[in-house]
Structure 1
Amino acid sequence: MVTRSSFATARRTELFDGLVELFLAEGFAHLTLDAIAARLQCSKSTLYTLAGSKEQLVTSATKHFFKRATEQVEAKVAAASSAERIAAYLTAVGEALTTASAQFMSDLDAFAPAREVYEQNTRIAARRVQELITDGVAQGDFRGVHATFAGDLVATMMVRIQQGRVREATGFDDASAYRELASILTAGINA
């Protein structure tokens, strides 16, 4: 039996999924609440049930994107062998970002609250890679690298990717940069 509460939760998730899809494809800076409501085929008052302003809506949608991406990334890590977990993790991060248009990334960088969500997720991801390295070293899958240093190296690159510096220096989009980072890192630490 579908309850009113479960329907509301499902509709809320559906709206956030639609917001994320729209923002990833087109960015968000140029969109008004009226335009967003029209694209999602809902009313502005429905959008206001999700957040009190466009800025809060963008921030909440960005959080929704990273929450969903984290779930997908961790599912890929769980399915990988211990020796393949770092490559699986970084590659999955890159895959999660493949749908992010250049306009979305530009808008994200220009809007401090959403940029902070990305930066926070970058820090979390760097700590997760460090954990995976530590586990891999302990299990003998990786040579005895200094996990904290390797994690810091990854964190530095992740921040450079997030800030668009890798794109400027290499032309790589974020997804490609993460795939290349996974390739170089795993080749350097394999036992």
Structure 2
Amino acid sequence: MTPTTPLTPRQRQLFDALLTQFLKNGFATFTIDSAARELHCSKSTMYSLGATRDEIIRRILVSFFKEVTRRTDAQLTHNTSPKVALERYFTAMSAALEPASLAFLRDLSTVEVAREIYATNTQAATEKITNLIERGVAEGEFRTVNSSFLAHLISAAMQHIQTSAATPEVNAVDAYRELGQLVIYGLYSEVA
């Protein structure tokens, strides 16, 4: 089965159960054997979701981040000002990550397949944010900035949020919300 093959109802049920477990408990210790026992299915049924442990993790995380992207991109389709679009984008990002436990966020930075997926999604998010910033500068809503440098800072901050999720002092949901406020109000031309 390829990652694009539609899931049967039973496979969808297992997939959703695994996603729920991953969000609640993380996935670093995920094994096919333990998942098959916990979800009362055969290992062959579990392998129908992916040929290896990493393929199953990848498929679930890609699906999760596609949903995050769907929710954040929906905020960019409105014909609004760049400032409002950025506010909505960061709010949607924070809301989409609310179900993710500290263990899930920690595993995003410690499991290789997850780091790759997070990095890809961070790059895509940074490009969207940079485009909004450039639009805001062009329309005079934001002060003139070096968008390449700012994109680098935003990307670094997003990577830091991911790697810092291993400490209880950092709440990723609040961190993304605060990053959004820093970006928006650091750019807003009325402040400049």
Q: Normalising TM by the smaller chain, what interval? A: 0.7 to 0.9
Quick one: distance in 1 between partners of 2:53 and 2:88? Answer: 35
Shift in CA distance, 14/129, structure 1 to aligned 2, threshold 3 Å:
farther
Amino acid at match of 1:189: L
Distance of aligned partners of 1:40 and 1:139 in 2 relative to their CA distance in 1, 3 Å threshold: farther
Cα distance in structure 2, aligned partners of 1:14 and 1:132: 38
Which residue of structure 1 aligns with residue 109 of structure 2? 109
CA distance 1:8–1:70, shift in 2 (3 Å): closer
Residue 157, structure 1, aligned to residue 160, structure 2: no
Give 3-state SS (helix, strand or coil) of 1:108's partner: helix
The TM-score normalised by the length of structure 1 is 0.83
Letter of the 1:184 partner, please give it: L
Distance 1:42 1:8, change over 3 A: farther
Change in CA separation of 1:81 and 1:65 when aligned onto 2, cut-off 3 Å = same
Conserved 8 A contact 1:76-1:92:
yes
Contact 2:126–2:151 under 8 Å retained in 1: yes
Aligned equivalents of 2:44 and 2:139: distance in 1?
54
Q: CA deviation at 1:54?
A: 1.6
Identity across aligned pairs (percent)? 34
TM alignment of 1:113-132, pairs within 5 A: 113-132=113-132
The 5 Å alignment of 1:82-93 reads 82=81, 83-93=83-93
Give the Å deviation of 1:19.
2.2
Q: Please report how far the alpha carbon of residue 13 of structure 1 lies from its aligned counterpart in structure 2 after TM superposition.
A: 4.8
Change (3 A) 1:43 1:77: farther
Conservation of the 8 A alpha-carbon contact between 1:51 and 1:60: yes
Change (3 A) 1:81 1:37: farther
Contact preservation (8 Å) 2:106, 2:162 = no
Q: Match for residue 28 of structure 1? A: 27
Distance in 1, matches of 2:124 and 2:79, equals 20
Give the deviation of 1:80 after TM superposition: 6.9
Q: Higher helix share goes to which structure?
A: 1
Match of 1:180 among 172, 178, 181: 178
Q: CA distance change for structure 1 residues 84 and 47 in 2, over 3 Å: closer, same or farther?
A: same
Query: Take 1:29 and 1:75, find their aligned partners in 2: how far apart are those partners?
Result: 31
| Alignment size in residue pairs | 183
Aligned-partner Cα distance in 1 for 2:6–2:154: 40
For 2:75 and 2:39, locate their aligned partners in 1 and report how far apart those are by CA, in whole Å.
30
Deviations 1:18-63 (A, max 9, x none): 3222201111233332332354454322221110122221122111
1:101-142 C-alpha deviation (Å, 9 max, x unpaired): 111122232211111111121121111111111112122222
Give 1:4's aligned residue. Answer: none
Query: Residue 14 of structure 1: CA displacement?
Result: 4.8
Distance (whole Å) between structure 1 residues aligned to residue 169 and residue 78 of structure 2: 31
The answer on whether the counterparts of 1:87 and 1:183 sit within 8 Å (CA) in structure 2 is yes
